[in-house]
Structure 1
Amino acid sequence: MACDKQSQLAEEARNNVPLEEWVAVEPPSGVQPDLTLQPIGGSILTRPPPSFESAQFDVILRRQRQRPQGGGVLKSTTIPSRFFHLPNTFEFSGWGTMSRIELHEPELSDGLKDIQDTRRITLGQFSASAIAGNSILGGVFYTLPAVVGVAGVLSPISLLVSTMIIWFWRPIMEELASALPISGAPYTYLLNVGSKNLALMGAALLLLDYSATAVVSAATAISYLAGEVKLPFPVIAGTLLILVIFAVVSLSGLKESARIALVVLTMHLMTMIALFVASAVAWGRQGNSQISHNWHEGMQTLSVNDIARQIFNGICIGILGLTGFECIPSYASNIKHGCYPKVLRNLHYPAIVVDVVAMLLVLALVPLNTVLSGGNVLSILAETAAGRWLRIITVVDAVIVLCGGVLNGILSACELFERLARDRLLPQLFRRRIPITRAPAYSIFAFFVFSFALYAIPGANLSIVSKMFSLIWLSVMALFPLAVLLLKFNRGRLSRDCRAPLGKVLFTLAIVAVMIGGNVAIDPSIVGYAAAYFIVIAVFFYVTMKASRLVHTVLWLYDQSKFVRTAVWARSWGARLTTAMSHLRRQPVCILVKSDEINILFHKLLYVSQNEETSCLKLVHFYDEEYGIPSELEANWKILDEAFPEITVDLVRLVLPP
């Protein structure tokens, strides 16, 4: 057999290789020359080692010579399917194909135009500031009562420190926006620098944050309104009414939201300026008698430890005055170049002034017992400073700006739902829109139901929801330094205009950890509420993300159970489940590839196999005719197509116009 095989190889070599390419070499000692190789003068004719160009990839891909040219046909594998009684078409996939597409100048121009239209870079520093500004600067209405309840007369100190803390986040948020100028942050940041499971947890926290923003804003607005007029319904019904009203407004397809937000923010700032001027004048006329009395009343029974604890607790709760900063990166891609740091500055400094000055004026003019009673402290301040007319203006401003916070929460949640649906973490129905208004009806309805449940389950207790809101917001803000750490470690070569020092990033993480611990110490019960909501959302996202794997498990159980498999009522389940499995894995995933290095390509496919529920992957490579494609791209593509039998890997070569 060995001699026959050697003779066959020799015959192939003699027939396929020209004689001029043969060279004469001396036979090894003790080896008789093979006459089939035409000995010349005692030497053996053989061919030189093949070059890479002539060898190509025939040896390493020898089993793929039978692969169909047009793709399709299940990939052959020696590993049998784990399913004995079901077809394995959903478990194994077909061979991939290679295609070549030429892009012409009109197509390229249309694509660039679509990208620009998608980004919609139309927001300057003031219009971009107004979108999140209503949540940030409107938070003064629910921040002051919450802080004064735990810090008392020391509230101005706590608010000053808590509003200054955001200084550590600004360079972190600037680096992230510079490296990844995409919307949907911090979910999209974690998705691009970490794993999909980590991004899923970030999305769950974001949804909780948006819902808590809407609930606290709506409940505070109705509380301010109930303090002025007698409502024919309870506060919980009024909160539900506000949520319903703005859900309907969102369904109507609200346009020009940035301009509306700018008008509302301008009215709010003018009201705050009028209130501060009137209060300062009243303070000057009245003197320091009231603030001195409040100070002595609030400090007379406090020890040094009590003072430190009250200041610390006030800092932990006072962070509510900065809620809304997490929304700014969500529309960073729509902000004009160079304006993002200005937007952070424009919202940070006014937040410090509004919260601290408002608290100081309240203690200077309003008795401490009235402040601690939990009433509408700013409306009381307005009436004390200038009379009934300013109180009415302040209440109207509070209702309007807080309703703007409700609308901001709804719109931010709808954008998050759409992005999660694109990433297949949610069903695709969340991308459907009403034909006339183009509003995402399913997203709005789901957000409304969840927000009302968030408020109703704790017994419509605004204090509990506010404390939980503070804990959730701090958890969301912790995602930004975490994303920067992952960015520096995993994608350190990604270009960006600015970099936050590593020491400042670690210090920021330490700060947020301490403040989360402080909020838990103030009221440990909020941990149970927050954890319950978070687990429910995260499990729902995980189930939708791993839908095909869950169906896969059900199929295995069906295949293993003879009773179910042979039952009349369950005979069609196998076909239905396999059809559902194929449908879930049918949507393609595209990956842009730049080089032909097989280790890089392998890690890309491994990520898709572990994180994406698909059996259709397309490797897309852009090139021009002058430089051509990488020499080993086709060979490595064929290797990887064979290495992943559960995924059809197609190679798409896009030729750029000259």
Structure 2
Amino acid sequence: MESEALAAAAAFPLTPPRQYLIINNIQKRKNIRDMLLSAAAFGVVEVLVVGQKLLSFDQAMNIEDVLPNFQFPFRITRFATLGECRAHLVAVEPTVTILGIEILHNAKSVNDPDVFAGPTAVMAGNEGSGLSDAQLAICDRFVYIPQYGGGTASLNVTVATRLAIAPSSHLNVGLTRGRRRCPQASVQLSSAMPAPSSSTRHRWSFNFEVEQDFQPGPSWAFPGPGRSQNLHMPATEVAAIETELEKACPHALGEWTSTAITGNDVLSSCLYSSGIVASKAGKLAPVANILVAATMYLFRFIYIEVVSAIPLNGGSYNTMLNTTSKRWAAFVSALAIIAYLATGVVSAVSASDYLQKEVPGLDTIWSATGILTVFAILNVCGLNDSAVVALIIFAVHTLTLIGLVLASVVYAVQHPHIFWSNMGTPFPSLDVEGHDLPGNAATALFFGFSSAMLGVTGFETAANFVEEQAPGTFRKILRNIWYLSSFFNLTLSVLNLCVLPLHVTTANSNVVLAMMASTTVGRWFELWLSIDGFIVLSGSVLTSYVGITGLAKRLAKDRVLPEFFLVENAWRHTSHYIILAYFVVATSLVWILEGNVVMLSSVYSYAFLGLLVLFAVSAMLFKLKRSQMPRETTAPWSACIVGLFMSCMGFWGILMGDPKVSVVFATYLLTVSGLILLMLERLFVLRMIMVVLKTISPSPASDKMRLPLLQSPSEVLGGPAIVKAIKTINEPPIVFFCKHPDLQVLNKAVLYVRRNEHTDNLRIVHVYSRGGAPPAAFHDMVAVLDCMYPKLRIDSVVVEGEFSPSTVHWLSHALNIPTNMMFIRQPDNMDAHKVSMLGVRVITG
């Protein structure tokens, strides 16, 4: 082998021009070390170091851990300024050309042979900012390394340097797909290896064919070879779609109508959270609410950053879907379902409590069940959440709370002894894991904070209907909701201590505001507040039905929930299966917890705090993996970390409470998660069923012939039905939009689809400008991937036109693929960002 390699090297003698490497403004020691190793591998004669820190550079040169006793085969010369470096180069090599690696309009391709015709000195820019002005000034030419991100990542610095100092070679690959010969694929690479005793470089050219059998198994497991397709978009159809998009106005909700929809959820929490917080925190309830206000202030900007970048309905689920795997997003969706479930149940039971205040003897459990039944019927009949009605309810409820605040202030001034009496009470004892513990300031704040988070539940509602909001509205909604919730939660917690003794508050925690109204004004105001509370809380039940319907539809379209949830009745065109399922599960929760608002609220807090924790995590992943996506603002890392810590503390506080609540929450979460997991792994389950059937009940023919399972599903009892189900599940295709024919990105897209989606057909689509031509290597690269993954048929599709929302809509109609089953690489400009706003999923960085 060694003699053959030496003979091959002798057959291709090369005497390349002398090369130099300039290292300046490189931050990471690892990058410096990789550059030095590349320079040694590719025959650089001198490395010129300008202004690097001496200690950092010396540490980068220490490579004993990877190459013991290795010595760099070039000179290393240090300079204080770039001007001195250039003067030295010109003195030792008068014809030298300094090449800067940068994407500029006058830059030449790294594959242009004229670039390296004479002596060259290569210089790369900083990992984050590229070449500085001083570096640009000393460069004679610029070389362009194709990159498809918004900036130069730290990997790109070393790879770009390696490509610029290495020679080019060609790899020609011919593929044969079944009986059809594919066009020859030509991919340019840089490949070199230093000779043992000199810097001579060698070039190899490989020519080979790949013969692949595309029928290694049954058609339901191996769909066959991919196809190439050229699509033409008629200008008239595109113009019609653009006109339709301009006429369509999904962003109909303004600032205050949107605030009202969200505010009814958030401010309704005040009706049942005030008493619960007082029972946990005692006289420190206001401090607990201050901590909650500070926490939600941080989450304001976290939500704005993420939702402004991905303005699609779905909240936490949508964020995780665009930053992590589908399984993690599905788990978040399970928490969101529990949150909607708990919202409706807590609101129904609390509304019953306020109604019971005026109708003594009313059974809370049956009343809550009746409320859930009435709104289920109304939703089946087609009653949707009206923004105008929501605004009226919101305005009346806000004015009612303001009236209660004013009346309580007057009462507090007249009866100051109540406040001072409450300040002298001991901290409440707490039930932790079934044991009573004496309270202190720390436990009061800790458990009070956990309970006070219940007062801002519903904060995430605005992110679940962002597609219906006017541009720029989302930021204003969160601002308004934060001010309102912080003001009322804090003010009412203080005034509660000024109006009612703590033991009265604890005994009537379900209807504390009604008690305050009765004490401060009288019976008529108590009646008014009870009616207002009943209406607002009933409105939250309606919102829960509407919200769970939208979320379940989204999950069913994404194939996370069973697709029968998309079925609509012919009478009112409503999703009756979703409504019926929600009603059954919500009613069961009411009866299992016997209408206990405190326990039901704990279940709600579990789900809400779990969503906050995962949203903070997804926001940090979003910063790391989707940094180039346009957004309105950028929340600081400190806000994400502190927000995550505070939400974890709140979750822990709820977790340490009543063990029965934890069991109930875990039961419902595992049930929903189990259903979702079954959907995500249904192909595996079907194959296991086939194996079990073959084992316990083989057909006579299969048992006699001893046929392999995968080759003979028809010979297995029930096999044809299972195969039909597998084919039906795998039938819907997936689209991935490819901007540039980058083999690495395409392979990542294929791996994502294989790991997260049920399909046997991936269509990779490239849109090229009108009058131009598609990249020559595009079809060949797709052909390579098609051969690599025989269980996935990978088609290449080229479309002439502009990549825009109208193009995506046209393709969705032409290919009969919904936009939520279309994927894209991270968009780094506003045009591509508009496409991702249509529901096209971002799957790679």
Q: TM-score normalized by structure 1?
A: 0.84
What displacement does 1:113 show? 5.4
- Secondary structure of the structure 1 residue equivalent to 2:763: strand
**In structure 2, how many angstroms separate the alpha carbons of the residues matched to 1:432 and 1:211?**
21
Deviations 1:72-106 (A, max 9, x none): xxx9538954xxxxxx1211102222222221333
Larger RCO of the pair (alpha carbons < 8 Å, separation 6+): 1
What displacement does 1:555 show? 2.0
What displacement does 1:255 show? 4.2
Residue 212 (structure 1) aligns with: 342
**In structure 1, how many angstroms separate the alpha carbons of the residues matched to 2:360 and 2:418?**
30
Residue 271 (structure 1) aligns with: 400
Higher strand share: 2
**In structure 1, how many angstroms separate the alpha carbons of the residues matched to 2:633 and 2:782?**
37
Deviations 1:309-337 (A, max 9, x none): 11221111001000011111112222222
Q: Does 1:403 align with 2:538?
A: yes
Report the AA paired with residue 634 of structure 2: R
After superposition, residues 348-497 of structure 1 pair within 5 angstroms as 348-375=482-509, 376-497=511-632
Residue 224 (structure 2) aligns with: 94
Residue 449 (structure 2) aligns with: 315
Q: Does 1:168 align with 2:298?
A: yes
Residue 10 (structure 1) aligns with: none
Contact 1:136 1:322 in 2 (8 A): yes
- Secondary structure of the structure 1 residue equivalent to 2:463: helix
Residue 546 (structure 1) aligns with: 681
Contact 1:641 1:648 in 2 (8 A): yes
Report the AA paired with residue 493 of structure 2: M
Match of 1:610 among 755, 769, 773: 755
Q: RMSD over aligned Cα, in angstroms?
A: 2.9
Q: Does 1:295 align with 2:423?
A: yes
Q: Does 1:582 align with 2:727?
A: yes
Q: Does 1:622 align with 2:757?
A: no
**In structure 2, how many angstroms separate the alpha carbons of the residues matched to 1:500 and 1:276?**
34
**In structure 2, how many angstroms separate the alpha carbons of the residues matched to 1:321 and 1:300?**
20
- Indicate the larger mover: 98-107 or 220-229: 98-107
Residue 800 (structure 2) aligns with: 655
- Secondary structure of the structure 2 residue equivalent to 1:94: coil
- Indicate the larger mover: 124-133 or 214-223: 124-133
Change (3 A) 1:80 1:330: same
Change (3 A) 1:63 1:580: closer
Change (3 A) 1:109 1:438: farther
- Indicate the larger mover: 263-272 or 161-170: 161-170
Q: Does 1:243 align with 2:379?
A: no
- Secondary structure of the structure 1 residue equivalent to 2:656: helix
What displacement does 1:275 show? 1.7
**In structure 2, how many angstroms separate the alpha carbons of the residues matched to 1:578 and 1:118?**
42
What displacement does 1:428 show? 1.3
Residue 718 (structure 2) aligns with: 573
Q: Does 1:146 align with 2:276?
A: yes
Contact 2:274 2:489 in 1 (8 A): yes
Deviations 1:512-545 (A, max 9, x none): 1222112222334432222221111111001112
Contact 1:294 1:363 in 2 (8 A): yes
Report the AA paired with residue 490 of structure 1: K
Change (3 A) 1:116 1:424: farther
What displacement does 1:567 show? 9.5
Match of 2:460 among 326, 329, 348: 326
Change (3 A) 1:629 1:231: farther
Contact 1:102 1:657 in 2 (8 A): no
Contact 1:371 1:377 in 2 (8 A): yes
Count of aligned pairs between the two proteins: 594
What displacement does 1:109 show? 3.4
Higher helix share: 1
Percent identity of equivalent pairs: 27
Deviations 1:538-569 (A, max 9, x none): 11001112222211222233345564566999
Report the AA paired with residue 496 of structure 1: R
- Secondary structure of the structure 1 residue equivalent to 2:634: coil
- Secondary structure of the structure 2 residue equivalent to 1:617: strand
Q: Does 1:646 align with 2:800?
A: no
Contact 1:128 1:343 in 2 (8 A): yes
**In structure 2, how many angstroms separate the alpha carbons of the residues matched to 1:183 and 1:613?**
23
Report the AA paired with residue 499 of structure 1: T
Report the AA paired with residue 287 of structure 1: H
Contact 2:376 2:579 in 1 (8 A): yes
What displacement does 1:419 show? 0.7
Deviations 1:212-269 (A, max 9, x none): 011001000001111211345x211111111111111211222462222111101101
Contact 1:163 1:321 in 2 (8 A): no
Deviations 1:169-191 (A, max 9, x none): 11111110121111111101100
**In structure 2, how many angstroms separate the alpha carbons of the residues matched to 1:624 and 1:374?**
69
Q: TM-score normalized by structure 2?
A: 0.66
Contact 1:596 1:631 in 2 (8 A): no
Q: Does 1:597 align with 2:597?
A: no
Q: Does 1:133 align with 2:263?
A: yes
**In structure 2, how many angstroms separate the alpha carbons of the residues matched to 1:301 and 1:608?**
53
- Indicate the larger mover: 150-159 or 386-395: 150-159
Deviations 1:49-68 (A, max 9, x none): xx9xxx99984314556269
Change (3 A) 1:109 1:526: farther
Residue 66 (structure 1) aligns with: 180
After superposition, residues 220-231 of structure 1 pair within 5 angstroms as 220-231=350-361
Change (3 A) 1:231 1:110: farther
What displacement does 1:296 show? 2.3
Contact 1:57 1:635 in 2 (8 A): no
Residue 72 (structure 1) aligns with: none
**In structure 2, how many angstroms separate the alpha carbons of the residues matched to 1:612 and 1:570?**
28
Contact 1:224 1:395 in 2 (8 A): yes
What displacement does 1:115 show? 5.4
Contact 2:385 2:543 in 1 (8 A): no
Contact 1:77 1:645 in 2 (8 A): no
- Secondary structure of the structure 1 residue equivalent to 2:762: strand
Residue 381 (structure 2) aligns with: 252
Change (3 A) 1:570 1:226: farther
Change (3 A) 1:625 1:116: closer
Residue 332 (structure 2) aligns with: 202
Change (3 A) 1:300 1:78: closer
Match of 1:77 among 213, 217, 239: 213
Report the AA paired with residue 178 of structure 1: S
After superposition, residues 491-506 of structure 1 pair within 5 angstroms as 491-506=626-641
**In structure 2, how many angstroms separate the alpha carbons of the residues matched to 1:57 and 1:586?**
35
Contact 1:414 1:444 in 2 (8 A): yes
**In structure 1, how many angstroms separate the alpha carbons of the residues matched to 2:299 and 2:549?**
26
Unaligned runs of 5+ in 1: 1-26, 29-50, 70-74, 82-87
- Indicate the larger mover: 299-308 or 410-419: 299-308
**In structure 1, how many angstroms separate the alpha carbons of the residues matched to 2:555 and 2:428?**
54
**In structure 1, how many angstroms separate the alpha carbons of the residues matched to 2:302 and 2:694?**
52
Contact 2:593 2:599 in 1 (8 A): yes
